[in-house]
Structure 1
Amino acid sequence: MTRYIALLRGINVSGKNIIKMELLRKALASLPISAVSTYIQSGNILFTSDEKNPVVLEKAIGDLIAEVFGLEITVIVVTPEILGLAIEKNPFAAKTPTDSVQPYIVFLSDEPLAENHEALQAVDFQNDEFVIIGKVIYVWYADSAANTKLNNAIIERKLKIRTTARNLKTIKKLIELSAKD
């Protein structure tokens, strides 16, 4: 059995794509996964499965959400080890976060093609910085994540892949919770 974390994009944000976590946990009982728990309302699902292919799990969870809740949601499934590696490789680790400014990690459904990477690099994001390493984008917002052009929508449009972002605090908590289950 492998421990996984499903990261859902755009759940319960600004009154859109509302899914109650209790109802989601109940719906997930129909899938071949176990030890299901959720963390905060933004769509973080911790679970265990015999399935070795995360893409199969992404599709199963996405299809279930579409069927039960009527929402087309990006689902990216990772392991706690992948989250740990993402933290270890953070090129902004030396920067000091504040209440409004902290590093974000954007998880990608696939590695971006070089020409799409270049298209994203060509956009002027003012003082916001990002680094792409494999299937992860590390983001440092100069002001805050709320006041930026460097968001999931533009990243998806330029890279032509699905994404979901989490702040470092959430990622660390997901790693901690996955170790307890």
Structure 2
Amino acid sequence: MRCLINFGGGTGILPVPDAAGTGETPVPPGFYPRLEGADGCSHGGPGAAAKRTTAEPVACLNGVRAMGRFVALYRGINVVGNNRVKMESLRAMHERLRHHAVQSYIQSGNVVFEAGGAAENIARKIATRFVEEFGFAARVMVLPAVRWAALVRANPYTAQSAALPQTVHAGICDGEPDAEALRALLTRTGGSESFSVRAGVVYLHAPDGFGTSKFAAGMEKACGVAMTVRNWRTVEALAKILDGSEPSLPR
């Protein structure tokens, strides 16, 4: 049995040992991808020594799917006491969707997990199940870990986020934002903010605060596409959960 898997830098064929344990798995040293069989059971490398891939799986063969690492970003839950969702209930919902290694971070709705398939398909399944379980719709974006890592690396405000991370925000867009409209908005609002658009993300530096920023308030409408915003503390915390460097962050 073989599985086609993306190792980040390229794609290779991964032979999966049979029930008798015969055969070898020619993967890079220390790399043990999590696999999910057609029966829904997880199969992986040697326990805690396993190293997760940050790439989204590209295909599968013989009913075995490579498991990728993802983050789901919810919008519109637990806002000023409205649309309340307990994080333990949200994690349980993900587990019922056969997501693995599910972790949540703070109450605004950030869930890291492992799953098979493309991010867009996973997001659709999550949105459907969310309505069924909680009785209202919430917008959710799902990003593979490799894209989240790229988002962190592309930050143009590294000095500002290191000194005052609460002043830097990432607006993750469902499509390409309208940079010209954003520049026009910034001219109209005339505040102290600055922004940069890179690969579908609006990076915002708001030194006088996000909550009082007129630019931030009009940012999504100007973009012309759906957006969900996270401050840089959350961005970095999720990056640490995704790469396994800090697995015990507060829920």
TM-score (norm 2): 0.64
Q: Measure, in 2, the Cα distance between the counterparts of 1:179 and 1:134.
A: 21
The one of 240, 243, 247 equivalent to 1:176 is 240
The Cα RMSD (Å) is 1.9
Q: Measure, in 1, the Cα distance between the counterparts of 2:130 and 2:75.
A: 12
Q: Which residue is 1:161 aligned to?
A: 225
Q: Which residue is 1:43 aligned to?
A: 109
Identity %: 30
1:4 aligns with 2:70: yes
Q: 1:61, CA displacement in angstroms? A: 1.2
Partner SS state of residue 29, structure 1: helix
Question: Against the structure 1 CA distance between its residues 160 and 67, is the aligned structure 2 distance closer, same or farther, given a 3 Å change threshold?
Answer: farther
Q: 1:169, CA displacement in angstroms? A: 1.4
Q: Measure, in 2, the Cα distance between the counterparts of 1:33 and 1:165.
A: 24
Q: Measure, in 1, the Cα distance between the counterparts of 2:140 and 2:206.
A: 24
Q: Which residue is 2:87 aligned to?
A: 21
Q: Measure, in 1, the Cα distance between the counterparts of 2:199 and 2:242.
A: 23
Q: Which residue is 2:59 aligned to?
A: none
The one of 74, 86, 94 equivalent to 2:159 is 94
1:104 aligns with 2:166: no
- Confirm or deny: 8 A CA contact 1:74 1:162 kept in the other structure: no
Gaps of 5+ in 1: none
Q: Which residue is 1:82 aligned to?
A: 147
Q: Measure, in 1, the Cα distance between the counterparts of 2:88 and 2:154.
A: 34
Gaps of 5+ in 2: 1-66
Q: 1:80, CA displacement in angstroms? A: 2.5
Q: 1:48, CA displacement in angstroms? A: 0.5
Q: 1:57, CA displacement in angstroms? A: 1.2
- Confirm or deny: 8 A CA contact 1:9 1:163 kept in the other structure: no
Task: Look at both structures and tell me which one has the larger radius of gyration over its CA atoms.
Answer: 2
Q: 1:26, CA displacement in angstroms? A: 1.6
Q: Measure, in 2, the Cα distance between the counterparts of 1:161 and 1:66.
A: 22
Q: Measure, in 2, the Cα distance between the counterparts of 1:57 and 1:81.
A: 16
1:81 partner amino acid: V
Q: 1:21, CA displacement in angstroms? A: 0.6
1:122 partner amino acid: A
- Confirm or deny: 8 A CA contact 1:37 1:45 kept in the other structure: yes
Identify which of structures 1 and 2 has the higher relative contact order when contacts are C-alpha pairs closer than 8 Å and 6+ apart: 1
Q: Measure, in 2, the Cα distance between the counterparts of 1:148 and 1:120.
A: 14
